[in-house]
Amino acid sequence: MHNISRRQFGKVAAASAALAGTGLPEFSFGQTDVRPGSANLAFPQGFVWGCATASYQIEGAATEDGRKPSIWDVFSHTPGKTNDGDTGDVADDSYHRYKEDTQLIKNLGAGAYRMSISWPRIFPDGNGQPNPLGIDHYKRVVDDLLANGITPYVTLFHWDLPAALEGGWQSRDTSKAYADYAGYVARQLSDRVKHFMTMNEFDSFTTLGYKTGKFAPGLMLPEAGVNQVRHNAILAHGLGVQAIRANAPAALVGLAENATVFVPVIEDEKNIEAARRATREENAPFLTAVMEGKYTESFLEREGADAPQVGAGDMQAIGSPIDFLGLNVYQPFYVRADGSAKGYELVPRQTSYPRMASPWIAVGPEVMYWAVRNVSDLWHPKVMYITENGCSADDVMTSDGRIEDTDRVMYLRNHLTHLHRAVAEGFPVKGYFLWSLLDNFEWADGYSKRFGIHYVDFKTEKRTPKLSAEWYREAIRRNVVV
Ligand code: PNW
């Protein structure tokens, strides 16, 4: 049994020592002034503020400079798969307008940008010969960011898998092809890029792509097949970490994962313990396997004959140490201790639970604190980032050209307040990336859901800062929740 109060005391004591001189209070939540704008909600000096995007969602230029289709090109061009038949053919046209987008980031005062590389631009057939025009494009993008004082954080796989790879993530060969691709990009870019993330959100592209069929490639495999896809995905991550290290020894390697986050229904010792247990069990095929280098016994038992086939050396690769852990944080799940052997029970959200414009975004800002704390208490990563947080909203432009997204500001302000609590308690969160810099192709929802802090008119590609962009700029400028 853990002695929570002692552990917590140690953490807070360490936090106050670490924060001495930064002007942060020992206790930041519930016990001091937490009015927005209060110095008590200040972040440590050097905290990284950024925005995030992904290649297929913003680039367009789907057939340019030797790029061949990804599974998302195939899927979005299949009738009935995306809202209104929307595709990423043009998207934000950022392939051509990247300099304009750099200026949007610069105007926010943000020091970092999380972007992704399109695998089918680099290896149009998934493997074999690299396409020099592909990597040249990203060298230009990165150089433009650096020239403007913005640090790139590069994701190597944000779901645009080359369509040419037979079987996609059902095949182990894809994991190997991924490692070759990741090693190649790291070698090409590591003179300019320090932070690489292997993958974005295992659960989304495996479960939605291969189980429910809502995302590319739109398959509905039986459980054994889905578990194999998940295994091949985390294996690709592990082999990717090794390949990046071999090709770019100075690079820092991490992951951007949307771990399912559990919030204790009441913040007391037994429910906190339940949240921790739920975090480990419910993320067993993904983050737990990556952080522990093994599947939990209860996962293997629960899946039985449907458990994945594991090759020799797979788990060791999967458990390769990483330098930082990125968490994409959107929605909470509530949990309570129930006295069972498992130790927890999920508590369903009532129908009145508040949501943003995407029905899956249930609003529970404390998710931010518990994402960091559960993961830290279980696995103690040395460095963490929030690699995504944000929301869709029903943005409309007023007659005088403004977008008054007070609901998005509300969502962001509250999430940052709870992130501040985590930082003030000494958890090692070093930065925050807002999803998203600009409205973009929201996967199966096409252009019907807007996540940007810049509004995009998809007819003219004109970008307009929303109220939330103004708000974020002010938070960044003062390094405090406003
Ligand atoms: C993340 N869900 O995706 C992705 O990393 C982004 O590409 C995406 O645009 C952003 O969040 C907003 O959706 C998710 O249905 C998509 O639970 C869907 C879900 C979760 C994450």
pLDDT tens digit sequence for 225-284: 999 999 999 999 999 999 999 999 999 999 999 999 999 999 999 999 999 999 999 999
**Average pLDDT for 67-91:** 98
pLDDT at 3: 39
When pLDDT is cut at 50, 70 and 90, the band that residue 34 belongs to is low
What's the 285 CA to ligand 1 centre distance in angstroms? 19
The active-site residue, picked from 201, 257, 366, 442, is 201
Residue 370: phi and psi, rounded to 5, are: -75, -30
What's the 216 CA to ligand 1 centre distance in angstroms? 13
**Average pLDDT for 67-84:** 98
Q: Which atom of ligand 1 is nearest to the CA of 435?
A: 10
For residue 346, which of 357, 355, 354, 337 has the smallest C-alpha distance?
Answer: 337
When pLDDT is cut at 50, 70 and 90, the band that residue 365 belongs to is very high
The 3-state DSSP class for residue 335 equals strand
| pLDDT at position 404 over 90 | yes
What's the 129 CA to ligand 1 centre distance in angstroms? 31
201 is catalytic: yes
Higher pLDDT, 347 or 28: 347
**Residue among 330, 412, 415, 448 whose CB has most ligand 1 atoms within 8 A, to mutate:** 330
pLDDT at 25: 43
Calpha distance 197→176 (Å, rounded): 17
Sequence-separated (6 or more) residues with CB below 8 Å from residue 301: none
pLDDT at 10: 40
Is the previous residue joined to 55 through a cis bond, with omega within 30 degrees of 0?
no
What's the Cα-to-Cα distance from 139 to each of 25, 122, 133, 183, rounded to whole Å?
A: 42, 12, 10, 16
Calpha distance 261→108 (Å, rounded): 29
The count of C-alpha atoms lying within 13 angstroms of the C-alpha of 392, restricted to the half-sphere facing its C-beta, is 19
Considering the chain, what is the average pLDDT of its residues? 94
| pLDDT at position 146 over 90 | yes
Ligand 1 neighbour 445 (Cβ under 6 A): no
pLDDT at 9: 37
Calpha distance 355→114 (Å, rounded): 26
474 is catalytic: no
| pLDDT at position 474 over 60 | yes
Query: Over pLDDT 70: what percentage of the chain?
Result: 93
Ligand 1 neighbour 207 (Cβ under 6 A): no
The dihedral through the CA atoms of 469, 475, 481, 482 has a sign that is: negative
| pLDDT at position 301 over 80 | yes
Calpha distance 362→327 (Å, rounded): 17
Count of CB atoms situated within 10 Å of the CB of 88: 28
Calpha distance 369→239 (Å, rounded): 31
Ligand 1 neighbour 440 (Cβ under 6 A): no
| pLDDT at position 29 over 60 | no
CB of 190 closer than 8 Å to CB of 250: yes
What's the 55 CA to ligand 1 centre distance in angstroms? 14
When pLDDT is cut at 50, 70 and 90, the band that residue 32 belongs to is low
CB of 213 closer than 8 Å to CB of 292: no
The H-or-E segment that residue 224 falls in is helix 223-247
- Tell me the two tokens of residue 115: 């972007």
The H-or-E segment that residue 155 falls in is strand 151-155
pLDDT at 7: 39
The active-site residue, picked from 59, 282, 388, 425, is 388
Q: What share of the chain is helix, strand, coil (3-state, %, to 5)?
A: 45, 15, 40
